[in-house]
């Protein structure tokens, strides 16, 4: 973000649609950056498309619209909100972590990791020290052979969640939830340094394609 509080050219679109789903638009924006670097025509090797990397089978007959920013964000938020509501029984930070993990890995692999946590006498409702331990084990035969959904590169999901959270924390320091409000008071001393560090994150090229 820059000193004006602008993160990307899609701020207003994301803010409006996220508000309709009662989600913090800065969290959604951090996810969009992670998924597509704000590149609306991004396509992954798995076939996910657009700003929020929505899979075609989720979009149904409107699959071609996934390259249209408004349609893509609408579809992505529909999926994100359903996942978010499913974790409403968790505290706020864990709700964010589990929602992001499920958006990335899918409910099946996250469920496998939670079941493994229970088998290891860890808390299946906890991220740190629990799913951060079991998700990476889904890439090891001795562990994934006992799961329903099999092999998965869970360490990538752990990194995905932490990178989005770190960016979200940065956005919260620099950008108000309400664009008409003043920037957070504690952001003034760090704004210049943070803005310089994150200037390259706005309107950049799409990320390398991944599965």
**Helix (H) or strand (E) segment spanning residue 153:** none
Nearest C-alpha neighbor of 158 from the set 108, 206, 98, 201: 98
Distances 92 to 19, 100, 117 between C-alpha atoms, Å = 17, 12, 20
Nearest C-alpha neighbor of 54 from the set 72, 36, 33, 37: 72
Of 12, 35, 205, 210, which is the active-site residue?
35
Gap between the Cα atoms of 204 and 124, Å rounded: 37
35 is catalytic: yes
Distances 121 to 11, 98, 142, 146, 158 between C-alpha atoms, Å = 43, 19, 18, 16, 20
Q: Cβ of 12: how many Cβ atoms within 10 Å?
A: 11
CB-neighbour burial class of residue 173 (10 A; exposed 0-12, middle 13-18, buried 19+): middle
Gap between the Cα atoms of 74 and 19, Å rounded: 12
Write out the catalytic residue numbers: 35
């Amino acid at each position: 973000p820059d000193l004006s509080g602008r993160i990307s050219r899609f701020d207003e679109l994301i803010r409006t649609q996220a508000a309709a789903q009662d989600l913090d638009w800065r969290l959604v924006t951090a996810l969009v950056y992670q998924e597509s670097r704000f590149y609306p025509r991004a396509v992954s090797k798995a076939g996910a498309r657009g700003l929020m990397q929505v899979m075609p089978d989720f979009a149904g007959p409107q699959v071609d619209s996934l390259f249209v920013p408004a349609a893509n964000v609408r579809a992505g938020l529909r999926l994100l909100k359903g996942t978010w509501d499913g974790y409403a029984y968790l505290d706020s930070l864990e709700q964010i972590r589990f929602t992001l993990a499920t958006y990335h890995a899918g409910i099946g692999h996250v469920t496998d990791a939670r079941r493994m946590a229970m088998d290891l006498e860890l808390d299946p409702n906890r991220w740190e020290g629990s799913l951060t331990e079991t998700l990476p084990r889904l890439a090891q035969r001795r562990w994934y052979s006992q799961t329903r959904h099999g092999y998965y590169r869970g360490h990538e999901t752990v990194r995905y969640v932490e990178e989005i959270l770190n960016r979200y924390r940065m956005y919260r320091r620099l950008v108000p939830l309400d664009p008409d409000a003043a920037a957070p008071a504690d952001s003034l001393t760090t704004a210049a340094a943070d803005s310089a560090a994150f200037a390259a994150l706005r309107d950049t090229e799409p990320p390398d394609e991944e599965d």
